[in-house]
Structure 1
Amino acid sequence: MNNYLRNYLSGTWQQNAAVAHTLTDPVTGETIAVTGGRAEGLDEGFEFARTRGSAALQALTYGQRAAMLSDVVKVLQANRDAYYEIALANSGTTQSDSAVDIEGAAFTLNYYAKTGAALGDVRVLLDGSASILSKDQLFQSQHVLTPVHGLALFINAFNFPAWGLWEKAAPALLSGVPVVVKPATVTAWLTHRMVADVVAAGVLPVGALSIVCGSSAGLLDALKPFDVLSFTGSADTAVQIRSHAAVARHSVRANIEADSLNSAILGEDAAPGTEAFDLYVKEVVREMTTKSGQRCTAIRRALVPTQYFDAVAEAISSRLDAVTVGNPRNADVRMGSLVSREQYNNVLGGINILAGEATLLRDGRSQALVDVAPDIAACTAPTLLGLRDADHAAVVHDHEVFGPVATLLGYRNPDHAVALAHRGLGSLVTSVFSADESWLSKTALALAGSHGRVHTVTPEVGKVQTGHGNVMPASIHGGPGRAGGGEELGGLRGLGFYHRRSALQGSVATLQHLAVDSHSFRN
């Protein structure tokens, strides 16, 4: 078929090979694109990126590379309508859910374009001030950050084909590091189209951006010691990546984002009828339904005071009853489909696993769907489960269902709530809702050790808070333990992954020459 997602390596679009993977519309089941299998010329393509791409990028200053990111944004904006059409057909998302991905990508690129512009036309980043190494203060040490002498390989998840690429590529390209992206095959069309548009526009140096669709076979084998690897996906695949010789033996730097049983805590002061209570219920529902619950940051465990359990269950269920689910082409539909029938089966199987331990408070599997064939479409309505006694639960603290599913859990007191949140064994984010600012601050610090981000919400910030699940480029994204132990974004902190820190030792006069063409990384 015409819509063959070709690989782009060594500055060339490769010829079509035998079809190995078929992409389908998750609502209609129709074939929309195809890819090949194992990519040819990986070693040569990776070396082309390391040499041609890297040299061209690092010949530019940080300010010039920031301007380059601005040009990428212009290309994406010019093709925005096509991206929404692809997201609808390939991911089954509504207009608003597609925007989370597409507009989120542009927002993040814009953020790094502006942040990079503030670095100015420099080529060196200083990490802190010089340290004195001799009694006469003539011999000193200055830590510097220089771009890695390799490439950045991104192995991405299926849920964010647009943002997943650009939230990683923005700090990488700003750092002067060429990018090779391997999107999840099932939703690769949007990533492929964006890469193709940027390549056609010529706004990046040749070799700065490459893409491999279809099979991931051979990708890790092609990595070399100075490369970096960023992976977003399942914990099982993360284990395979960590054990690969490139990482285990050759010390390729790896950033992993894996499973995450994120939680949201309702404060004891937030009784039914209070503004904090209403904000909490609204947020849980939003997280269950946005992108059909297919966000790494979505709320999986909703922790509430035991005395409010029934009220919260009723309030959430009532809101979910108003969510129409089905074909996103229908104007009445508020929540679209999962990305594939395979994912649909995984979610239904996961609900059965949780239901072996928790009570079904609202079973979305029985809800009528709008304008779809139930035996073809990957659609299922939100399901809410519940457990009043979360202490004796095991599965709900261990198994993530990656879809419109959450479990309501009762807690006895604030310390108990924190303990339950920690049972996720490391999460990307937790949120806390209360009008008690002192308690929020204390609780946030207690939660910080096992969460990459702690999102606190009072009624005062209810209308302006950015959302439990929304990843903002100024804040870090990642989490310890089960969540993978990785860290991305966080403003200039995001550049750290793509740089090597070295200590330059020498005389004061020698080190002063660095200041001519440098910027302090830590302001």
Structure 2
Amino acid sequence: MPALPPRRVAAERKDHSVSTIVTDAPSGLFQDEYGLFIDGAWVGSASGRTIPLTNPATGAHLAKIQAGNAADVSAAVAAAKAAFPRWARSRLEERQEILLEIARRLKARTADFARMESANNGKTIVEATIHDLPEAIGQFEYFSGSVYALHGETRDYPDLIGLTHREPLGVVAQIIPWNVPLLMASMKLAPALAAGNTVVLKPAETVCLTVLELIREIADLLPPGVVNVVTGYGQDVGEALVAHPDVRKVAFTGSTATARKIIEYAARNIIPQTMELGGKSASIVCASADLDEAARMAALSTVFNKGEVCMAGSRVFVERSVHDAFLERFVREVEAVRIGDPSHPETRLGAMSSRQQYEKVQGYFDVALSDGAEIALGGGVAHVPDLPDGLFLKPTILAGVRNDMRVAQEEIFGPVTSVIAWDDEAAMLGEVNDSRYGLAGAVWSNDIRQAHRIAREMQTGVVWVNTYYNLPRGMPVGGYKQSGFGRELSWDILRDYTHTKSVVIPL
């Protein structure tokens, strides 16, 4: 995901200092219970069941959401299908103004949405404020301008004129994850709406309160049925939504394992998909690199959003001649990261989003040791005073890692980074590309020829040179191999939300 521009993540103290101010989301930010949003109205689920959501830093209850099912999906798809003809033919100015007004409303409530995202996800208030909200707002601003850029072409022939039109697909199913839910919803909704599609959105059942609050904030702007939201467990909602005969496209961000199921469901009706999946991105540090800057960015990649980022540079390949010097700097930077209450403005590492993820990441500490790696830093639970129920982990650096180890091949999705030494550039690139994933990566070198050469050889969708997590708006983002297909965050995605129709007019 797009992330913070380069900045120093280390605090002044060279230890895992802890923030202890404890604050739940202030009362009034969340409703006690949220309904499904179908055909412009909030309704209860057909099942009558709800799902409780908690603050992962405190364990406190936040709200209840609906446990939707296939009946709810059918109602939402029917509403989206009925709304499509009118929305598809809506004036460009109307769609543009709606997208701009969504951006304005998010901007006006940036502080509220940042606090809500922090409370439900466990991310720091700083990250939510300076990353998630500006990027979410930016999606609506960017795609508001695309409505005029989405047009066809004319082709002149001696005896005829050929016209091509770009037309919206219809009802789009969108399924988003729990790590950056508000941003993910914005990334999916903005281009789909700009292109004239209607949407049924399924957010993650563990972290989705900001998505529901977004819909509450903008419900009056959208004609009924244009956007519908069905919450619930994947097994109850996902298959019913993707396999519905009236759905014309699927947009999914999440795990590779879930993507395989979704692709199977979508194949029943032979509908297109865009997939943004996992990553095991490599950051390559060459001998000529600025080691201080490379170490700072490696630290940022480790702790940003608690490592719950598909683009995290979780494999750092360091040229052997500078390996020890880099590792020393890297450890020093990560040691200084402040862990604790995510609502505290000085905290730089919050709580894992769920107990399932908290326990999964801990399991990799034992895996690393059993495979022969060393824990250079961290590798355990972080105990935060006054937050005994918080799901906190120490940021972890693994040294002595080989690329064939599980910790170098499997997506951990936590604050864990592996350091791998290399001697030969060609052999190193072979290991970098020896991964099922190919989402992002970086090259750290002051030799521009070397940096360009390595970047061209990396089998990955995004490569940064002497930086990380720095994505100017409009740059396409997507993966190679099992990291998925399709390109988001740019005009490219509009091709995936439209058909091309050819019209031939004889002269």
TM-score range, shorter chain: 0.7 to 0.9
Q: Which amino acid aligns with 2:227?
A: L
After TM superposition, the structure 1 = structure 2 runs for residues 136-175 of structure 1, keeping only pairs within 5 Å, are 137-148=158-169, 150-175=170-195
Q: Which amino acid aligns with 2:189?
A: A
Instruction: Note closer, same or farther for the CA distance 1:140–1:356 as it changes in structure 2 (3 Å cut).
Output: farther
Q: Does the alignment pair 1:12 with 2:23?
A: no
2-side partners of 1:295 and 1:438: how far apart?
Answer: 30
Aligned to 1:386: 399
Residues 139, 489 of structure 2: 8 Å contact kept: no
Residue 23, structure 1, aligned to residue 53, structure 2: yes
1:249 pairs, out of 233, 257, 268, with 268
Q: Distance in 1 between matches of 2:370 and 2:286?
A: 28
Q: Conserved in 2, the CA contact under 8 Å of 1:3 and 1:32?
A: yes
**Aligned residue number for residue 155 of structure 2:** 130
Change (3 A) 1:414 1:32: same
Taking structure 1 as reference, are residues 21 and 471 closer, same or farther at Cα in structure 2, changes over 3 Å only?
farther
Contact 1:351 1:401 in 2 (8 A): no
Whole-Å Cα distance in 1 between the matches of residues 254 and 390 of structure 2? 23
2:438 alignment partner, one of 402, 405, 427: 427
Cα deviation, 1:178-213, whole Å, max 9, x if unaligned, reads 1221111111111111111110xx222221111111
1:299-338 equivalences under 5 Å are 299-338=313-352
Tell me the distance in 2 between the aligned counterparts of 1:67 and 1:38: 32
CA RMSD in angstroms, aligned pairs only: 2.2
The answer to whether the Cα contact below 8 Å between 2:339 and 2:349 also exists between their aligned partners in 1 is yes
Q: Contact 1:224–1:252 (CA<8 Å) still a contact in 2?
A: no
- Alpha-carbon offset, residue 366 of structure 1: 4.7
The letter of the residue matching 2:317 is L
Match of 2:301 in 1: 287
Residues 504 and 95 from structure 1, CA distance in 2 versus in 1: closer, same or farther, beyond 3 angstroms? same
User: 1:462 aligns to what?
Assistant: none
Distance 1:409 1:63, change over 3 A: farther
Q: Is the 8 A contact 2:171 2:197 kept in 1?
A: yes
TM-aligned CA distance change 1:474 to 1:332, over 3 Å: closer
Change (3 A) 1:353 1:506: farther
Q: CA deviation at 1:498?
A: 0.6
Summarize the Cα distance change of 1:142–1:488 in structure 2 as closer, same or farther, 3 Å threshold. Answer: same
Percent identity, aligned pairs only, is 22
> What are the Cα deviations for residues 249-276 of structure 1, in whole angstroms up to 9, with x where unaligned?
3112111122210111112322xxxxx2
- Pair 1:111 & 2:122 matched: no
Shift in Å at residue 372 of structure 1? 4.3
Aligned length: 472
1:341 Cα deviation after fit: 1.8
Please state how far the C-alpha of 1:160 moved relative to its aligned partner. Answer: 0.8
Match of 1:273 in 2: none
Equivalent in the alignment of 1:480: 480
For structure 1, which segment, 288-297 or 38-47, has the greater mean C-alpha deviation from structure 2 after superposition? 38-47
Q: In the TM superposition, what is the alpha-carbon distance from 1:318 to its structure 2 partner?
A: 0.6
Residues 159-198 of structure 1: matches in 2 within 5 Å? Answer: 159-198=179-218
1:409 corresponds to: 420
Within 1, Cα distance between the matches of 2:377 and 2:292?
22
- Give the equivalent residue in structure 2 for 1:464: none
Question: What is the Cα deviation at residue 285 of structure 1?
Answer: 0.5
Contact kept? 2:163, 2:502, Cα under 8 Å: yes
**TM-score, scaled to structure 1:** 0.85
**Any residues of structure 2 matched to 1:197-212 within 5 Å, and which?**
197-199=217-219, 202-212=220-230
Q: Tell me: higher relative CO, structure 1 or 2? Use CA pairs within 8 A at least 6 residues apart.
A: 2
Structure 1 residue aligned with 2:282: 263
Judged with a 3 Å threshold, the aligned counterparts in structure 2 of structure 1 residues 326 and 372 are, in CA distance, closer, same or farther, namely farther
* 1:310 CA displacement: 1.4
Deviations, residues 475-507 of structure 1 (Å, cap 9, x unaligned): 1121021212332232x2121111012332333
Query: Are 2:409 and 1:398 aligned?
Result: yes
CA distance in 2, matches of 1:336, 1:281: 21
Separation in structure 1 between the aligned mates of residue 61 and residue 452 of structure 2, nearest angstrom? 51
8 Å contact 1:262–1:424 — kept in the other structure?
A: no
**Contact preservation (8 Å) 2:146, 2:194:** no
Distance 1:5 1:194 in 2: 12
1:133-157 per-residue CA deviation (whole Å, 9 max, x = no partner) reads xxxx213544432111x21211111
For the Cα contact (< 8 Å) 1:341–1:377, is it kept in 2?
no
Cα 1:26–1:389 change in 2 (3 A) is closer
Alpha-carbon spacing, 1:20–1:360, altered in 2? closer, same or farther (3 Å): farther
What are the superposed Cα offsets for residues 107-136 of structure 1, whole Å, 9 maximum, x if unpaired? Answer: 2221222344x53xxxx7215x5274xxxx
Distance in 1 (CA, whole Å) between partners of 2:283 and 2:301 is: 10
Could you tell me how far 1:288 is from its partner in structure 2? 0.7
What is the TM-score when the length of structure 2 is the normalising length?
A: 0.87
The structural deviation recorded for 1:359 is 2.2
Determine the C-alpha separation between the residues in 1 that align with 2:474 and 2:68: 37
C-alpha distance in structure 1 between counterparts of 2:156 and 2:136, whole Å:
40
**For each residue in 1:317-370, what CA deviation from the matched residue of structure 2 results, as whole angstroms up to 9, or x when unmatched?**
111111111212345422111112221101111232233325234342457543
Q: 1:243 to 1:115 in 2, by over 3 A?
A: closer
- Note if contact 1:480-1:486 (Cα within 8 Å) is conserved in structure 2: no
Distance in 1, matches of 2:379 and 2:397, equals 11
Partner-residue secondary structure (3-state), 1:172: helix
Letter in 2 for 1:379: F
Partner Cα distance (2:207, 2:455) in 1: 36
| Equivalent-residue separation in structure 2 for 1:429 and 1:68 (angstroms) | 33
Measure how far apart 1:44 and its partner are.
2.8
- Secondary structure at the aligned position of 1:453 is classed as coil
Does the aligned pair in 1 maintain the 2:168–2:196 contact within 8 Å? yes
Contact 1:62 1:175 in 2 (8 A): no
Find the counterpart in structure 1 of residue 120 from structure 2: 90
8 Å contact from structure 1 (residues 152, 179) kept in 2: yes
CA distance in structure 1 between the aligned counterparts of 2:85 and 2:384, rounded to whole angstroms:
53
1:497 match: 496
* Structure 2 equivalent of residue 418 of structure 1: 429
The answer for unaligned runs of 5 or more in structure 2 is 1-29
